[in-house]
């Protein structure tokens, strides 16, 4: 059971040396280009799969939010119709009830129109 002495700077025979590759420089360049092309093709394939999955997710979200927005708009229209009918029952006039329900929307439109004209600098139109 003796201890073997190995010099620190002496190369070991069980490890391959970096300069032991017998391929020429052009062969190594061709192999590197081939490997880079393979890696790039794999990257494009992975990107296509990822983008396809992301597009499906975005399309699903757009459909869901679009459906929710449509339902909210329909419910608001139905609420306004019900409000007009309730006011018509109280006042006895459909025309007056429609004017009362439309008045807040008309005033908001007028205010936004005036603010828009001020912002654009068309004072002669909005004044």
> What averages of pLDDT result for each successive group of 10 residues across the chain (127 residues)?
56 62 82 92 90 88 95 96 95 93 95 90 59
Q: How far apart are CA 116 and CA 110, in angstroms?
A: 10
Residue 94 lies in a domain: yes
Residue 112 lies in a domain: yes
Identify whether the C-beta of residue 6 lies closer than 8 Å to the C-beta of residue 12: yes
Whether the model clears a pTM of 0.75, i.e. scores above it, the answer is no
Residue 61 lies in a domain: yes
- For helices 25-91 and 94-120, angle between their N-to-C axes, nearest 10 degrees: 140
Cβ atoms within 10 Å, residue 114: 13
How many domains does the chain contain in total? 1
Residue 70 lies in a domain: yes
Residue 12 lies in a domain: no
Domain range for 38: 24-126
pLDDT at 117: 86
* Cα four-point dihedral sign 18, 21, 23, 28: negative
pLDDT at 118: 86
Q: How far apart are CA 105 and CA 83, in angstroms?
A: 14
Residue 3 lies in a domain: no
């Amino acid at each position: 059971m003796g201890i073997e002495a190995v010099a620190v700077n002496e190369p070991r025979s069980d490890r391959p040396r970096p300069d032991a590759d017998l391929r020429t420089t052009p062969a190594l360049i061709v192999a590197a280009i081939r490997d880079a092309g393979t890696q790039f093709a794999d990257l494009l394939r992975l990107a296509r799969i990822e983008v396809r999955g992301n597009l499906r997710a975005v399309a699903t979200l757009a459909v869901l939010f679009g459906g929710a927005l449509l339902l909210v708009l329909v419910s608001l229209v139905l609420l306004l119709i019900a409000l007009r009918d309730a006011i018509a029952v109280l006042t006895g006039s459909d025309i007056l009830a429609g004017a009362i329900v439309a008045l807040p929307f008309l005033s908001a439109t007028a205010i936004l129109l005036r603010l828009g004209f001020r912002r654009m600098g068309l004072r002669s139109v909005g004044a």
